């Protein structure tokens, strides 16, 4: 990274570091469920938990171009585990892209490029 590298806010970088492990754990759980029973329905309480996390992540990604492609799950529908896995995988990819864009080597250490 250079002095002209893109910067994010310290708040978003911190929120990324908090949310990324939670997102990875949730993705792993749904990925396993999706392998076993891809067409199983996801309960409304699980949808609330998933959407609560995804809404926080949308705050981190609010200025990124990927935000236009990141949907929340409808709490009125009953999505299948494979649908939830697909949605979460898109958030995982967007969070990785966020880190790749704003985190890197400054010549002496790895750090977030934040203002």
The tens place of each residue's pLDDT in the chain, 115 residues long, gives: 555 679 999 999 999 999 999 999 999 999 999 999 989 999 999 999 999 999 999 999 999 999 999 999 998 888 999 999 999 999 999 999 999 999 999 999 999 999 8
User: Which region, left, alpha or beta, applies to residue 107 given φ > 0 means left and ψ of -120 to 50 means alpha?
Assistant: left
User: Which region, left, alpha or beta, applies to residue 9 given φ > 0 means left and ψ of -120 to 50 means alpha?
Assistant: beta
pTM of the complete model: 0.92
Q: Which two tokens stand for residue 59?
A: 């705050």
Distance of CA 6 to the CA centre of its chain: 20
């Amino acid at each position: 990274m250079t002095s002209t590298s893109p910067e994010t806010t310290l708040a978003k970088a911190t929120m990324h570091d908090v949310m990324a492990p939670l997102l990875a754990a949730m993705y792993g759980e749904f990925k396993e469920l999706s392998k076993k029973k891809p067409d199983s329905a996801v309960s409304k309480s699980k949808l609330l938990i998933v959407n609560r996390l995804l809404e926080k992540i949308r705050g981190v990604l609010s200025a990124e171009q990927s935000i236009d492609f990141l949907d929340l799950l409808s709490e009125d529908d009953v999505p299948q585990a494979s649908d939830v896995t697909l949605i979460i995988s898109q958030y995982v990819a967007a969070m990785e892209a966020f880190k790749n864009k704003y985190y890197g080597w400054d010549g002496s250490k790895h750090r977030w490029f934040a203002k």
